[in-house]
Amino acid sequence: MAWTEDEDKQKSDNEVASTLKPKENDKLDSQESVISALKEVLQTQTVERRRARRWKIFFRFLYLSIFMTIIGGLFYYDDLDEDHTSNAVAVIRMQGTIGASQEVDANDYVSLLDDVYADPATRAVMIEMNSPGGSPVHSGILHDAITAYRSKRPDIPVVVVVEDMAASGGYYIASAADQIIVDKASLVGSIGVVSGGFEASELMGKIGVKRRLFTAGENKAFLDPFSPMSDQAKQSWQSVLDETHQQFIDAVKEGRGNRLVNDPTIFSGMVFTGVQAIQLGLADHLGYSQQVLSTRFAELKPIYYQPYQEPWDKVAKRLGVELSSELRNQFLNLY
């Protein structure tokens, strides 16, 4: 077979080209696969981002809805409180410690009593009492305020319904009412005054520590726990407690009158059950608030009064209560 040099070169070039072409095709296929994979990753990320954005928007609307519901509920209940009728019984809840910036602050509750008696719809007042006591000053202020309004408006009966307790200052306030209703297991009384502390002057000497105390006035630091108390200071402080105790006794005697029995333990600071309190004349009948509303005040519409709070304080308090309740439920579910 005849051949030429040109034909041999052409044949060689064709063989090389046929060898290189599959490699180039494989490279192109590989690049296309990478690009396709990248597209899929980008599309997946885009979908996930859109989905996350939608959920974020959803939860924002959910939180906003819950927040607006709480706000609306607060104003709704406020509107209910303002829905006064021609015949109403004002319900005032006194729960907690009595004193300045405490749950039962006389500054708040005297204003509340002013609102109650200023309302022409008020036909009766019912105080739901659940307090261990507190400040004798704030207790006395509220006692005197109730007594004064009873004198001005004798046509409006004042009834105190005791729940767990009306002790010490709580009973001080309750004694101003026309009638005191208790549960058989309520804790009532504790008519007394207490001032506690300790003295560590001897301990200071035993451990070799000396007290440095500078005062202007010999009795200025008579309650200092690291200094001994003189007999004169003890007598003086005891007279203060006795005078405060006597104010308490006078208030109870004035409020309860001849309903009190002649029993020295009444004013000893002892606490009594509801049944014992009735026997001693410290209370009148057994019962509870809903029972009183449905029987004695059945023809009156209950209007609930509470000290004014800033709306944001109400929201924060209610959210805190709901959160703590939810955490408690979750904790109980775990065990």
- Interval 226-238 mean pLDDT: 90
Q: Does one domain contain both 30 and 172?
A: no
- Interval 283-305 mean pLDDT: 96
Measure the N-to-C terminal CA separation of the chain; round to a whole number of Å.
99
- Interval 260-276 mean pLDDT: 96
- Domains: count for the chain: 2
In a domain, 2, yes or no: no
Residue by residue, DSSP assigns 46-62 as HHHHHHHHHHHHHHHHH
Predicted confidence (pLDDT) per residue in 19-39, tens digit: 545 555 555 556 667 677 667
Q: What is the pLDDT of residue 26?
A: 56
310: three-class secondary structure by DSSP = coil
Residue 60 clears pLDDT 80, i.e. is over it: no
Partnered with residue 303 across adjacent β-strands are 90
Place of tokens 């309190």: 277
- Domain range spanning residue 72? 7-83
Q: What is the pLDDT of residue 77?
A: 46
Predicted confidence (pLDDT) per residue in 183-202, tens digit: 999 999 999 999 888 888 88
Q: Does one domain contain both 100 and 188?
A: yes
Q: Does one domain contain both 55 and 93?
A: no
Q: What is the pLDDT of residue 305?
A: 95
Rg (CA), the chain: 40
Number of residues in the chain: 335
In a domain, 238, yes or no: yes
Query: Could you tell me which residue, 81 or 11, shows the higher pLDDT?
Result: 11
Predicted confidence (pLDDT) per residue in 104-125, tens digit: 999 999 999 999 999 999 999 9
Strands 187-189 and 271-273: antiparallel
- The CATH number covering residue 141 comes to 3.90.226.10
Q: Does one domain contain both 79 and 97?
A: no
Predicted confidence (pLDDT) per residue in 295-321, tens digit: 999 999 999 999 876 655 555 545 554
